Amino acid sequence: SRAAGWILLHLARYPQAADRVAAEAALLPADPAATTSTHLDCLQYTQALVREVLRLHPPSWLLTRRAPRRTQLADYTIDAGSTVLVCPYTAHRDAREHSEPDQFQPERWLDDSGSPAKPGVFLSFGTGPHACEGAALAMAMLTLLTAQTARCYHLSEPPGPEPSYRVTTFEGLTTVGLRLRATLRS
């Protein structure tokens, strides 16, 4: 649900991206229940948009890990048993890994250089033996939510004080009180 809020906000703020997702989603079956993994595989831009939102706003923005043995990490020695904090939020904004790291650019995931398979580059679902076991299911659900929403609705932020939400980091990076306007696509 944390990721869904960020995705919906990005569909509202980036209407050209939302239109591109809607065009891709137009190829899906009319009945969402008839959607298969083959259909999901065709939603390349939609998956890229989801990954980009998760890169910019990872729901779990701070992870903890325990060092199993004494380890050298860059210029630091980490003793066995030490707790290490890993911050996907800042790691995802590392210019050595992502050009223009603070910019929303779903296209970065459409070529091999931004592949989430590269270890340590995409941490939204964790990594290694502690990675989220439901990552594939979460990506499928978020991709379908994104596609079906963009297919049916134009989203926008209602007029009023900026922003239309507030961010909290307690238990995760969340858009609290998010208000969006949905109008049917014609």
Domains observed in the chain: 2-184 (1.10.630.10)
Check if the beta carbon of residue 88 is closer than 8 Å to that of residue 51.
no
- The model's pLDDT over 6-51, given as tens digits with 9 standing for 90+, comes to 999 999 999 999 999 999 999 999 888 899 999 999 999 999 999 9
Q: CA-CA distances (angstroms) from residue 98 to 17, 114, 140?
A: 19, 8, 24
pTM of the model: 0.89
- The model's pLDDT over 100-144, given as tens digits with 9 standing for 90+, comes to 999 999 999 997 654 555 666 788 888 778 888 999 999 999 999
DSSP 115-171: -TTSTTT--BTB-GGGS-TTHHHHHHHHHHHHHHHHHHEEEEPPSSSS-SSEEE-TT
Check if the beta carbon of residue 61 is closer than 8 Å to that of residue 169.
yes
pLDDT score at 128: 78
Residue range 131-160: mean pLDDT, rounded: 93
pLDDT score at 123: 87
What's the chain's Rg over C-alpha atoms? 18
> CA-CA distance, 49 to 96, in Å (whole number)?
21
